[in-house]
Amino acid sequence: MQKRTLGRSGLEVSALGLGCMGMSTSYGPPQEKREMASLLRAAVEHGVTFFDTAEVYGPLTNEALVGEALAPFRGRVAIATKFGFRLDPEGGPKWVGLDSRPEHIREVAEGSLGRLRVDAIDLFYQHRVDPEVPIEDVAGAVKELIREGKVRHFGLSEAAARTIRRAHAVQPVTAVQSEYSLWTRGPEAEVLPTLEALGIGFVPYRPLGRGFLTGKITETTSFDGSDFRNTLPRFAPEARRANQALVDLLARIAARKKATPAQIALAWLLAQKPWIVPIPGTTKRARLEENLGALEVALTADDLREIDGAASAIQVQGDRYPENLERMTGR
């Protein structure tokens, strides 16, 4: 397995990680626990050492799944989790707001340590920037947890460049996680140059466009009633029809490279910077193996120019989130 280091932090992980959210939430009913534990262990056997979860996934159940499945591999894997949402006090399945108060960060850390069955959280992200709490206070709270040995590395998710700089001045940021793929390229304008300047790693989530870039989803595909994609403007049938041009581009390159569209999409990401570590999610072993096959796909400079040139002529249709969720990004 190829390895990459997230920025100048020294956190070395597999070049592709595994996003675990879909095992417990968002893409239909939760998957069978035993099968998902088997998948997580298969990922380790294939060389994956970087796993992504969060308190809010489930909520709580995804951390517990990951913690139990990966317990035999302590010291061999890095687990990232996240804080920053306020969960329903009645125990409901939804979050009810943002909460990055220092005392709440500490509460979340203690809970996550128990569910993940670890002595220290390898990478602790703020899930979304809380406009009610100065980012300096957030960074300071995580700095204290690092000093106490309960957290090893600090991360931010969907933060703006200015926020990243302010946080990094208090506690060095190891990694920033944001959505990034051939159909979501917003980080290229300001975030990626900021990370390069500061020596911070980048972890693209949804690198396969929530499955769309695999070529397995068309305008006629229907989703389970509980599937989060039903609420996303970019997954409206008319948007999927328009965005098919991007999948067709990937398919053309894939045919030439004897690869799949998913592998080309991931190989493109890996080729952008040596400190980028995508975390595609899956609930199927065959897809896990397909995604890892992207590491064997070599895109030449000519290939990359061809992909960028063709992609720049395609206007992606539909917002990636509903308005209320989009407002939580880029702060």
Residues taking part in catalysis: 57
C-alpha pair distances (Å), 289 with each of 183, 210, 268, 283:
23, 17, 18, 11
CB of 38 closer than 8 Å to CB of 52: no
Bridge-partner residues for 13, per DSSP?
Answer: 4
CB count, 10 Å around CB of 114? 12
Q: How many CB atoms lie within 10 A of CB 317?
A: 16
Stated as kind and residue range, the H or E segment containing 45 is: helix 33-45
Please report, for residues 34, 195, 202, the alpha-carbon distance to residue 274 in angstroms, rounded to integers and kept in the order given: 35, 12, 10
Residue 23: name the closest of 289, 280, 291, 234 by CA.
280
Positions of E strands within 102-251:
123-126, 154-157, 173-179, 201-205
